[in-house]
Each structure stands twice: as structure tokens, then as C-alpha cells.
């Protein structure tokens, strides 16, 4: 982001929640299975402008065997979510990113310090293990005027 670490403010919040019917369906789990919701935010220390925001969901039964994964005090975790999952024997084998866009609410435009007319990009990332089970779902928002998306499509030789 072109900023020095000392100029940034990071926050992480972990909560164990009961998923909504929609979230449970999106994760492919029963509604009575609790989920770890992790919210991450980064702001500019000088002006308070939001620079990044995301929320991640992991079904608790997948990670509760490692209590360190349930404590936000252990953030930032070297190797991120993939390493966290690896500590409980889960290897991420496939990640699907779904990108959409919308105009921000007035509150979101203020939070991100957006100029008028700048849309937000929304990225849902779904991580699957070797059994094609969803092991993490995350949603992140990005201001379109400060974001570059790059896609690579590997092709098989004919």
C-alpha cells in the first residue's frame, strides 16, 4: 500500500458465533455448528482512513483442536490462514475468488474516504481442502480506485 508499518494501525477481532442460515449454507455446514468469525481492519494512523477490511469464517470443529487458532492475540500468524489450517492437518487445495461491485453506502464512502462515484469491489474467497470441503470463507472489500485485479489462467497444451 506504499505505507510504512509504523504509519498503520491494525485490529483483529475473533468471535465464536452461530451462523445464520445463509452463512451455514454458504459454508456447507449445519446451522447448529458454530463458526469462528475473524474481522481484520487496517487504518492509516494519521487520518484514520480505512485501508483494508475483511471478515473470515471457519467452522469451529475444524480448528478447535488447536486453541491458539481461537485467540486473536496470536495475530498476525506467520503463513496466514493456510498455515493455521495446516496446524490441524488441513491443506488448502483450491481457492475460488468471486468478485462483484456496488456503490458504497454513505457510511462506507466516509469510512473509506472515497471520492463521489467510486464503487467498492467485494471479493468472496472460498478455500477448499482435498476432500472438496469448504474450510474457510472470507469476504473483503476494496475501493475500486485503489485496487488492481489480476487474473492468470493456466492452459493445458493441446
In a domain, 75, yes or no: yes
| Cα within 13 Å of Cα(34), Cβ side | 11
Tally the domains of the chain: 1
In a domain, 96, yes or no: yes
CATH number at residue 140: 3.40.1410.10
Dihedral angle computed from the Cα positions of residues 100, 106, 111 and 70, in that order, rounded to the nearest 10 degrees: -60
In a domain, 67, yes or no: yes
Mean pLDDT (the chain, rounded): 93
Q: Give CA–CA dist 19/35, Å, rounded.
A: 6
Rg of the chain's alpha carbons, rounded to an integer?
A: 17
Of the candidates 124, 123, 118, 113, the residue with the CA atom closest to the CA atom of residue 103: 118
Assess whether pLDDT exceeds 80 at residue 2. Answer: no
In a domain, 77, yes or no: yes
DSSP state of 88: T
In a domain, 18, yes or no: yes
pLDDT at 130: 94
Instruction: Classify residue 69 by burial, with Cβ atoms within 10 Å: 0-12, 13-18, 19+.
Output: buried
In a domain, 158, yes or no: no
In a domain, 85, yes or no: yes
Assess whether pLDDT exceeds 70 at residue 13. Answer: yes
Q: What is the per-residue pLDDT across 85-103, written as a single tens digit (0 to 9) for each? A: 999 999 999 999 999 999 9
- pTM, two decimals, is 0.89
Helix (H) / strand (E) containing 24 = helix 21-27
Q: Please report, rounded to a whole number, the percentage of residues in the chain having pLDDT higher than 70.
A: 99
Mean pLDDT computed over 10-25: 97
In a domain, 153, yes or no: no
Find the domain containing 76 and state its range.
5-146
Give strand pairing partners of 127: 95, 136
Q: What is the per-residue pLDDT across 45-86, written as a single tens digit (0 to 9) for each? A: 998 889 899 999 999 999 999 999 999 999 888 889 999 999
Mean pLDDT computed over 123-131: 96
Amino acid at each position: 500500500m506504499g505505507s510504512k508499518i509504523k504509519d498503520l494501525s491494525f485490529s483483529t477481532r475473533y468471535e465464536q458465533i452461530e451462523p445464520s442460515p445463509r452463512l451455514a449454507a454458504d459454508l456447507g455446514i449445519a446451522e447448529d455448528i458454530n463458526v469462528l468469525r475473524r474481522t481484520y481492519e487496517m487504518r492509516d494512523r494519521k487520518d484514520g482512513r480505512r485501508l483494508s477490511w475483511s471478515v473470515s469464517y471457519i467452522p469451529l470443529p475444524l480448528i478447535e483442536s488447536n486453541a491458539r487458532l481461537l485467540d486473536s492475540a496470536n495475530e498476525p500468524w506467520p503463513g496466514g490462514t493456510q498455515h493455521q489450517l495446516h496446524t490441524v492437518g488441513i491443506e488448502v487445495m483450491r481457492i475460488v475468488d468471486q468478485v462483484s461491485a456496488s456503490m458504497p453506502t454513505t457510511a462506507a464512502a466516509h469510512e473509506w474516504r472515497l471520492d463521489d462515484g467510486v464503487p467498492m469491489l467485494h471479493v468472496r474467497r472460498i478455500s477448499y481442502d482435498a476432500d472438496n470441503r469448504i474450510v474457510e470463507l472470507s469476504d473483503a472489500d476494496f475501493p475500486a480506485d485503489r485496487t488492481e485485479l489480476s487474473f492468470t489462467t493456466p492452459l493445458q497444451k493441446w
